[in-house]
Amino acid sequence: MRAWTDVAVLAKTKNLQGGFVAQGAAGLPFLLFEGLEVAFVPPVLDAPRRARVTSVAPADERTAVVTFDVVEGIDAAEALVGCHCLARRADLPDGALDAPEGAWDGWEVHDAASGLVGSVSGIQEMPGQDLLEVCSAKEGRTILVPLVDAFVVEVDEDARRIVVDVPDGLLEL
């Protein structure tokens, strides 16, 4: 099992003191809390690599205004916008990463180029990334789609739909 996990993304700066609007990682509740140590990825030249959360002011269930101990001022904050916050799994509350069994089952998966791919039948946890098991709408076979930010365009919880943009040929494997 991986020791660190993606818990949030720094969406934009919020104030001149170095605050951020942070969004929870897809499919997770907001997990940043005061005192939590995080690593920023990808690393940014001349910006901190790790920090501790010093304050969290919730905006809604997946978004909050967050500050960190080593991010001082708007210039330092702007360098980190778009970075993800990784946290040690051991530092998170028990069960925080547990999705209810079958939580994604039945969600439709659409490819940005080719339309409906099929519906989610499960998730495989792999060392590099999780894989969506998608039952093909056309052939009934299982297609594995990497559940990574580079491929996921949109997650619509209300419509229970995931839109992906995968490299050509991946859906034919």
Asked if 77 and 144 sit in the same domain, the reply is no
> Does residue 42 form part of some domain?
yes
Confidence of residue 169 (pLDDT cuts 50, 70, 90): confident
Q: Which CATH number does the domain housing residue 41 bear?
A: 2.40.30.60
Asked if 87 and 12 sit in the same domain, the reply is yes
Domain assignment of residue 138, given as a range: 108-172
> Does residue 13 form part of some domain?
yes
Confidence of residue 102 (pLDDT cuts 50, 70, 90): low
Q: What is the pLDDT of residue 81?
A: 94
Q: What is the pLDDT of residue 85?
A: 93
Domain count, the chain: 2
pLDDT above 70: residue 125: yes
SS3 readout for the chain: CCCEEEEEEEEEECCCCCCEEEEECCCCCCCCCCCCEEEEECCCCCCCCEEEEEEEEEEECCEEEEEECCCCCHHHHHHHCCCEEEEEHHHCCCCCCCCCCCCCCCCEEEECCCEEEEEEEEEEECCCCEEEEEEECCCCCEEEEECCCCCEEEEECCCCEEEECCCCCHHHC
Asked if 113 and 147 sit in the same domain, the reply is yes
pLDDT in tens, 47-69: 999 999 999 999 887 789 999 99
pLDDT above 80: residue 10: yes
Asked if 76 and 114 sit in the same domain, the reply is no
Q: What is the pLDDT of residue 99?
A: 56
Q: What is the pLDDT of residue 127?
A: 63
Asked if 86 and 23 sit in the same domain, the reply is yes
> Does residue 27 form part of some domain?
yes
Asked if 8 and 82 sit in the same domain, the reply is yes
Q: Over the chain, what is the mean pLDDT? A: 86
Asked if 29 and 83 sit in the same domain, the reply is yes
Q: Which CATH number does the domain housing residue 164 bear?
A: 2.30.30.240
pLDDT above 70: residue 112: yes
Q: Tell me the percentage of the chain whose pLDDT exceeds 70.
A: 91
pLDDT in tens, 17-56: 889 999 988 667 789 999 999 999 988 888 999 999 999 9
> Does residue 102 form part of some domain?
no
> Does residue 96 form part of some domain?
no
> Does residue 101 form part of some domain?
no
> Does residue 22 form part of some domain?
yes
